[in-house]
Amino acid sequence: MFTKKRLAAGAMLGVAVLALVGCASAAPEAGGAAGGEFGDVSVAYGSPGEAAEFEVTISDGVEEVAKEVGVGFKLYNNKDDGEIALTNAQLMVQGAPDVIVEYSLTSGVNQALGNTFTASGIPCIAVNVETPGCSLINLSNRKAGEDAAKIMAAEALSRGWTAADTSVLAVQCATCGTEVNDSPRYFYTQAAADMGLEQVKPEEINEKTTVLGANLNQVDGGTARDTAYDSVKAALQAIPKDRHLMVFSPNDDLTLGAWRALDEAGRNDNTLIGGNNGSSEGLDQLRSNPSWVVEGTMFLPQWGQYVIAMAVAVANGATPPDLTPLPQYAMDKKTVEEYYPGDATVAVKLPPLEPEAEYLAESGVLQKLGFVEGLD
């Protein structure tokens, strides 16, 4: 999952990522009027702001789902400002909703937000970033890395690649924190297990690691394509041209920057690479680029389905696990058609619920929306 800083959140979600409706003050914006089978549940949602596209995509999705299922809903725009977030927390408590949902990407205020919500006695849900005292719903960067490695390692083995002739080039974001970099870190440990590469402990791979053992090279790709391009271009000078390369990063922007450097160096035919976002560019690469063999998707526009289902479940007395997993899936060239058929850039369905998220089905919200595989 992401760290508490905006930089890390943007890096994990990548791609100028998937934009929010600003209001002139911290006053709430009304969402869907209560009505229908879920009309007795009211939700206050603290949106992060509008500084990045992914903020809009996620928050718009939450509001749209609330309207569709008839949950009482008010949106409080934190406007990427800690002081406004703190003011909004007080306003949400004063509104006395059944559940508070907070998505705060502003560093340094989450403890205070959690204190406010806890003191009120109103159950709260933290989206993407921990807010102390609130149940967390989030992605797993570790899972993203491991699932991508399984697909890429299988392809590498099918091509006859071995530990003797293959290197992993991990492109990390050194300033983004441990959680974000779990994706390239656990990509390597899973690839090592599947291919017989030299095994290292996950904790040995950190932001300062450049070369570790016989099979791991790592660069700091920064937070943008250009910085990833520069880092990978420099690193390739020290990696023999006859080495097969398996390349992975926390997000599509860094992977696209890495691919540019590999292509310019003439290393593309000897490379397998993977993205992580499900961005339109990443999807296009997976469909058309023979070397791009895996693309992780996080279904950002559909996060609202899980968030509202969780809010209704909590309002009805459910006790969530420590982490309720958001939907994510590592796609290969065949399975991409299941979720993004043709040239689609928005998923047409969601994968089955993970075991820790199965309690969300009890709310009935996901069945009403009809988007999750395996739910009638």
- State the pLDDT at residue 179: 83
Convert the pLDDT of each residue in 124-146 to its tens digit: 999 988 899 999 999 999 999 99
Q: Which residue, chain included where needed, has tokens 């339109």?
A: 280
Task: State whether the Cα torsion 174-179-185-191 is positive or negative.
Answer: negative
Residue with tokens 């403890």: 111
The whole-chain average pLDDT of the chain stands at 90
pLDDT in the model for residue 347: 96
- For the cut 50, the answer to whether the pLDDT of residue 324 exceeds it is yes
Average pLDDT in the 178-192 region? Answer: 94
* 322 or 1, which is more confident: 322
This prediction's pTM: 0.82
Q: What would the mean pLDDT of 26-46 be, rounded to a whole number?
A: 68
pLDDT band with cut points at 50, 70 and 90 for residue 83: very high
Q: Contact at 8 Å (CB) between 38 and 365?
A: yes
C-alpha–C-alpha distance, residues 354 and 361, integer Å: 11
Q: Would 6-139+300-327+348-369 and 141-297 be classified into the same CATH topology?
A: yes
If you search the block for the tokens 């509008």, which residue do you land on?
Answer: 50
> pLDDT tens across 204-250, in order?
999 999 999 999 999 999 989 999 999 999 999 999 999 999 999 99
Over residues 283-297, the pLDDT tens digits come to 999 999 999 999 999
pLDDT band at 108 (very low <50, low <70, confident <90, very high): confident
- Confidence band for 36, pLDDT divided at 50, 70 and 90: low
CATH number of 6-139+300-327+348-369: 3.40.50.2300
Q: What is the pLDDT of residue 53?
A: 79
E-only strand ranges, the chain: 29-30, 42-47, 72-77, 99-102, 124-127, 135-138, 166-172, 211-212, 216-220, 244-248, 271-277, 292-297, 323-325, 329-331
Percent of the chain topping pLDDT 90:
81
CATH topology (fold) of 141-297: Rossmann fold (3.40.50)
Buried b (16+ CB within 10 A) or exposed e, 178-202: ebbbbbbbbbbbbbbebbebeebee
pLDDT at residue 23, as a whole number:
32
Q: What is the pLDDT of residues 244-271, one digit of tens each?
A: 999 999 999 999 999 999 999 999 999 9
Q: Tell me which residue of 149, 108, 167 sits closest to 249, measured CA to CA.
A: 149
Query: Which DSSP state fits 241?
Result: T
**pLDDT tens-digit series, residues 145-155:** 999 999 999 99
Q: Check: CB of residue 61 under 8 Å from CB of residue 346.
A: no
* Domains of the chain, residue spans: 6-139+300-327+348-369, 141-297
